[in-house]
C-alpha cells in the first residue's frame, strides 16, 4: 500500500494546478468593473505649471565659510556675539 | 583695553574702551546711565514706559520723544527694506505665544502658568506696520486701532549704538555689546596682535561657550539673532521669540543663528532677524536690500554659510563695513 500516499500527493497537486489555471482563465475572460461615476475627460484640459519647490540648498550667492572647528586655537575674547 | 560688564535689558552688557583710565571711568558711568534711561523708555514690560504709553494710545495721535520718534522712523524704513520680515507689530502674537512678561518669568514652567492661552484657530494676523502714520512736523505717531508694538531687538541695537557714540567722547576707541548686538567706534590700537581691528567671537548657537569663528572688523555694527535664545514651552510646544510675521508663529528656519555686519546697529539687528526668518531660500535677496551688509549663518550641524563678502571678516584680514 506504499503507492497510496504517493498517488494521493499527485492527485492533490494536479487538482490544485487545474483549479488555479481554470480560475485564471475564468477571470481573464470576465467583464471588467465599470465605475458608476466615470471621471470627466481630461483631454484638452490645461494644467497650470506648478511653482518650483523652494530649494533646501543655499542659493548660489551664499557660500560655505571656514570655521574654527577642528582644532584651531580659539582666542579668549571678551566681546562675543551670541544672539538675542 | 578696559572693560565693564553688567546686566541690563535682560541681557549681558559689555563696555570696552581704550583711553585715559579716569576718562574711561566717567565714560562707563555715562554709558550705564544712558542704557538705564533708554531701557526705561523702550521696554514693553513696564506700563510706565513711553512704548507702553504709545501702545495704549493706538487709534489716536501720540506725541513722541525725539528718541522714540527716531527709532520708529528707522523701524519703518527697515520694515520696508526687509519686505516685512521685520515687523514691530508682532506684540499681540508674541504674547499669545507666551512671551508676555520678562524672560526670567517666562522660563518658568509655562504650561502650568497659562494653560490653553494659544488660540485653536491659530494666531491672529500680524498688523501691517506700514499703516502706522507719522507726522514729522509735530513728531507725532498714530498706531492703527488695536496695534501694539514690540521694539525689543531693534531698540537693543539702537541703544548699543547710541551708547557707544556717547562713550566715544571719553575714549580713543570703544565698543558696546548688548547680548547679540555690538557697535564699535574707532579701532583698538593698544591691544597687541588685535590692534587695528575689533575681534568678536561668534558663539556656537548650540553651545554658547564654544566659539565657531572670530569676526575681525573695523568700526560699525555686528548683531546676531538666534532661535536658540529666549525659548520656553507653551501647551507642550517649544516656543522662541523670533516671530515670523507671515505666519504669526515662532519662525521655523534651517538656520539656528544669523550674524549680520552692517554700518548701523539697528540695521544689523533687523537684518540678522530677517535673514534668519528668510532662511537659505530668501537670504540672498533680502541681504541685497541693505548696502554694505555681510552675514554669517550657522546651520543645525554647526556649519557656517554666508554672503560672499563675509569671508573677508573671517580671514586674517580686516573686513570693512
In order, the DSSP letters of B204-228 are ETTEEEEEEEEEEE-SEEEEEEETT
**Angle, vertex CA A83, rays to CA A80 and CA B2, nearest 5:** 25
Report d(CA B90, CA B95) in Å as an integer: 9
B47 is written with which cell numbers?
Answer: 506700563
B94 is written with which cell numbers?
Answer: 508674541
Chain center to CA of B210: 21
User: Which chain A residues touch B254 with a CB distance below 8 Å?
Assistant: 56
The answer to whether the CB of B271 falls within 8 A of the CB of B77 is no
Put simply, the answer to whether B201 touches A58 (Cβ < 8 Å) is no
Average pLDDT over residues A48-64: 60
Domain locations in chain B? 2-314
Task: Report CA-CA distances (Å) from A35 to A28, A32, A38, B148.
Answer: 19, 10, 6, 58
Backbone angles phi, psi at B318, to 5 degrees: -110, 125
Does the pLDDT of residue A14 top 70, yes or no? yes
Interior/surface letters A17-53, b for 16+ CB within 10 angstroms, e for the rest: eeeeeeeeeeeeeeeeeeeeeeeeeeeeeeeeeeeee
Query: Is residue B294 helix, strand or coil?
Result: strand
Report d(CA B154, CA B89) in Å as an integer: 12
Interface membership of A56 toward B (CB under 8 Å):
yes
Report d(CA B161, CA B184) in Å as an integer: 8
State the smallest CA–CA distance between residue A84 and chain B in angstroms.
5
Report pLDDT for B5: 95
Put simply, the answer to whether B230 touches A54 (Cβ < 8 Å) is no
Query: Is residue B319 helix, strand or coil?
Result: strand
User: Which chain B residues touch A52 with a CB distance below 8 Å?
Assistant: none
Report pLDDT for A39: 54
State the smallest CA–CA distance between residue A34 and chain B in angstroms.
43
- pLDDT by 10-residue block (mean), chain B, 321 residues: 93 94 97 96 93 96 96 95 92 70 49 43 75 95 94 93 97 92 91 74 88 92 86 61 77 90 95 93 90 93 92 64 49
Separation of first and last alpha carbons in chain B: 22
Side-chain-side CA neighbours of residue A31 (13 Å): 3
DSSP B32-66: HHHHHHHHHHH-SS-TTSHHHHHHHTTTSEEE--H
Overall CATH class of domain B2-314: alpha beta
User: Which chain A residues touch B5 with a CB distance below 8 Å?
Assistant: 78
Report pLDDT for A6: 85
In a mutagenesis test of the A interface, which of B180, B211, B265 is the best target, namely the one with the most A β-carbons within 10 Å? B211
**Minimal Cβ distance to B200: which of A54, A61, A77:** A77
B286 is written with which cell numbers?
Answer: 533680502
The answer to whether the CB of B194 falls within 8 A of the CB of B173 is no
Put simply, the answer to whether B224 touches A58 (Cβ < 8 Å) is no
Closest to B189 measured CA to CA, from B229, B158, B218: B218
Does the pLDDT of residue A37 top 80, yes or no? no
The answer to whether the CB of B192 falls within 8 A of the CB of A71 is no
User: Which chain A residues touch B16 with a CB distance below 8 Å?
Assistant: 78-79
Report d(CA B291, CA B81) in Å as an integer: 11
The answer to whether the CB of B167 falls within 8 A of the CB of B14 is no
The answer to whether the CB of A84 falls within 8 A of the CB of B230 is yes
Report pLDDT for B319: 46
User: Which chain A residues touch B297 with a CB distance below 8 Å?
Assistant: 62
Report d(CA B62, CA B222) in Å as an integer: 32
State the smallest CA–CA distance between residue A47 and chain B in angstroms.
26
Q: Reduced to 3 DSSP states, what percent helix, strand and coil does chain A have, rounded to the nearest 5?
A: 30, 5, 60
Put simply, the answer to whether A62 touches B306 (Cβ < 8 Å) is yes
Report d(CA B123, CA B247) in Å as an integer: 8
The answer to whether the CB of A81 falls within 8 A of the CB of B201 is yes
In the 8-state DSSP scheme, what is residue B212? E
B211 beta partners: B203
In the 8-state DSSP scheme, what is residue B180? T
Put simply, the answer to whether B280 touches A56 (Cβ < 8 Å) is yes
Report pLDDT for B124: 66
Query: Is residue B141 helix, strand or coil?
Result: strand
Residue A72: band (very low, low, confident or very high) from pLDDT cuts 50, 70, 90: low
Report d(CA A15, CA B126) in Å as an integer: 74
Amino acid at each position: 500500500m506504499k503507492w497510496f500516499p504517493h498517488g494521493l500527493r499527485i492527485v492533490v497537486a494536479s487538482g490544485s494546478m487545474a483549479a488555479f489555471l481554470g480560475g485564471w482563465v475564468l477571470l481573464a475572460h470576465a467583464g471588467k468593473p465599470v465605475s458608476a461615476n466615470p471621471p470627466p475627460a481630461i483631454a484638452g484640459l490645461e494644467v497650470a505649471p506648478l511653482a518650483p519647490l523652494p530649494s533646501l540648498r543655499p542659493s548660489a550667492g551664499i557660500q560655505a565659510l571656514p570655521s574654527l572647528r577642528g582644532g584651531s586655537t580659539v582666542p579668549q575674547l571678551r566681546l562675543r556675539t551670541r544672539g538675542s | 583695553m578696559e572693560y565693564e560688564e553688567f546686566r541690563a535689558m535682560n541681557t549681558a552688557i559689555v563696555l570696552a574702551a581704550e583711553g585715559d583710565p579716569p576718562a574711561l571711568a566717567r565714560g562707563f558711568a555715562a554709558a550705564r546711565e544712558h542704557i538705564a534711561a533708554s531701557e526705561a523708555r523702550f521696554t514693553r514690560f513696564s506700563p510706565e514706559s513711553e512704548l507702553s504709553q504709545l501702545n495704549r494710545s493706538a487709534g489716536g495721535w501720540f506725541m513722541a520723544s525725539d528718541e522714540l520718534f527716531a527709532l520708529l522712523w528707522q523701524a519703518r524704513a527697515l520694515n520696508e527694506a526687509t519686505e516685512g520680515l521685520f515687523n514691530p507689530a508682532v506684540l499681540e502674537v508674541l504674547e499669545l505665544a507666551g512671551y508676555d512678561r520678562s524672560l526670567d518669568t517666562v522660563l518658568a514652567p509655562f504650561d502650568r502658568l497659562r494653560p490653553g492661552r494659544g488660540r485653536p484657530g491659530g494666531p491672529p494676523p500680524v498688523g501691517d506696520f506700514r499703516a502706522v502714520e507719522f507726522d514729522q512736523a509735530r513728531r507725532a505717531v498714530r498706531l492703527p486701532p488695536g496695534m501694539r508694538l514690540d521694539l525689543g531687538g531693534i531698540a537693543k541695537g539702537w541703544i548699543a549704538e547710541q551708547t557707544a557714540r556717547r562713550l566715544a567722547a571719553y575714549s580713543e576707541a570703544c565698543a558696546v555689546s548688548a547680548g547679540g548686538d555690538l557697535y564699535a567706534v574707532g579701532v583698538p590700537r593698544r591691544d597687541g596682535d588685535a590692534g587695528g581691528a575689533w575681534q568678536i567671537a561668534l558663539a556656537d548657537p548650540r553651545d554658547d561657550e564654544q566659539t565657531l569663528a572670530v569676526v575681525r572688523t573695523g568700526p560699525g555694527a555686528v548683531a546676531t539673532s538666534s532661535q536658540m535664545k529666549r525659548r520656553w514651552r507653551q501647551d507642550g510646544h517649544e516656543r522662541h521669540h523670533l516671530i515670523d510675521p507671515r505666519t504669526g508663529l515662532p519662525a521655523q528656519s534651517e538656520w539656528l543663528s544669523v550674524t549680520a555686519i552692517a554700518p548701523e546697529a539697528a540695521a544689523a539687528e533687523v537684518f540678522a532677524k530677517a535673514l534668519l526668518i528668510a532662511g537659505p531660500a530668501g537670504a540672498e535677496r533680502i541681504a541685497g536690500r541693505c548696502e554694505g551688509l555681510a552675514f554669517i549663518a550657522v546651520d543645525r550641524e554647526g556649519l557656517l554659510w554666508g554672503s560672499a563678502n563675509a569671508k573677508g571678516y573671517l580671514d586674517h584680514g580686516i573686513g570693512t563695513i
